[in-house]
Amino acid sequence: MAGYKIHHKTVKGGVVTATDFTRPYGEPIKCASCGTIHFAKTYHLSLDENGDAVVSESILNNLTRMKVIGTTKKAQFVVDTTVDHPKPINLGMGRNGGLTTLGKPTVSRRPVMHLDFGEKPPRPLPLER
Amino acid sequence: MANALYTNYKNKLLGNGTHALADWDTDDIRATLTDHAVDTPVVATDQDYADISAGEIANTGATIAGAALCTISAGGVDIDDFAFATVSGDPAESITFYLYDATPTIAALLVFIDTATGLPITPNGADINVVIDASGLFTF
C-alpha cells in the first residue's frame, strides 16, 4: 500500500511528536520510545536528514485534520509526494517485555519538537496536606 | 501498563477462567495491533477478541504460532518472526496475541505487549515486521 512523504518546513532529522487531545487514551501511556507520558493520541514522526517522513493514509488524514499538515502558515508539514513502495518497518520484542535492539527502530530518541491539537486537559491539583 | 498475560488466560492456566485453553504449538494463534485512543485493552478484565476489536489497526490474519512456527521449551514460548502486511492505519500502542476463533466472543486473549522496540509504531503503508527475540516471547 502506498505511503505519503511529508516534509517539515524547518526541522531536519529527529523526532517530531504531535498530540491530538480530542482523542484521549483510556489511560496514560509511558512511551518507551520517546521517554514521555502521553495522555492522548500522539504521532511520532521520525524525520530523515532532509526533514522527510513517510506516513500512512490514515495518519496523513488525521495530521491534516489537526492542521499539522497543510498549506496554511501555521502548518508545520507539507505533503511532498506519494511513495508507492515504502520501506518495511521493524518492531522488536524481547522475552518477557525486554526491549530488543533493531537496526532501525521507528523512534529512538526524545522529540526535537512537540505540537498540540485540541484543548489540553488541566493539570491535576496538588494534594492537600 | 506493562507487558502481561491477560488475567483470564492466567486463570485458565490454573484451571479456571473462560474460553478454550490455547495450545501454542498446535492452535491458531494470531496477533493484532491496537489503537488505544479507540479502545485501551484492560488486561485485568478483557477476555476475548470482541473486547478489543474496536481498536484494531491491523491483524496478522493468519496463524503465527502453531505447528512449525512455535517452540515450547524451558517453560517458555518462542515463535517465528512475522509481519503485519501493508498497514495503512493510525499508530498502534500495543500488540495482543490471541487464540483465533471465527466467533470473536470466544477468541481468548493471551498476551498483551505495549513495551517493545518501536512501539508505539507509526505505520507508513508498508509491512510491519515483528522480530521476536532469539530467547523467545515469554517464559513462566
d(CA B136, CA A37): 28
**Of the listed ranges A70-74, A125-129, B124-128, the one predicted with least confidence:** A125-129
pLDDT for A105: 46
> Per-domain residue ranges for chain A?
3-117
User: Which residues in chain A have their CB less than 8 angstroms from residue B130's CB?
Assistant: 90-93
Local confidence band at A103 (pLDDT 50, 70, 90 cut-offs):
very low
Interface residue of B113, B121, B122, B132 to substitute, partner A, most A CBs within 10 Å: B122
* Predicted ipTM of the assembly: 0.89
Q: What type of residue is A53?
A: A
Local confidence band at A127 (pLDDT 50, 70, 90 cut-offs):
low
User: Which residues in chain A have their CB less than 8 angstroms from residue B77's CB?
Assistant: none
Interface of A with B in 110-129 (CB under 8 A): none
The mean per-residue pLDDT over the stretch A59-70 comes to: 96
Q: What is the pTM for the complete model shown?
A: 0.90
User: Which residues in chain B have their CB less than 8 angstroms from residue A98's CB?
Assistant: 133
- Peptide bond between residue A126 and the one before it cis (omega within 30 degrees of 0): no
Lookup: cell for B40: 485501551
pLDDT for A59: 97
- Peptide bond between residue B120 and the one before it cis (omega within 30 degrees of 0): yes
Q: Which residues of chain B have pLDDT under 70?
A: none
A82 has a pLDDT exceeding 70: yes
How many other CB atoms are there within 10 angstroms of residue A12's CB atom? 13
A104 has a pLDDT exceeding 50: no
CB within 8 Å of A116: residues ≥ 6 apart: A18, A19, A21
Looking at every residue in chain A, the average pLDDT score rounds to 86
From the CA atom positions of chain B, what is the Rg in Å?
A: 14
Interface of A with B in 58-97 (CB under 8 A): 58-59, 62, 83, 85-97
A59–B90 CB contact, under 8 Å: yes
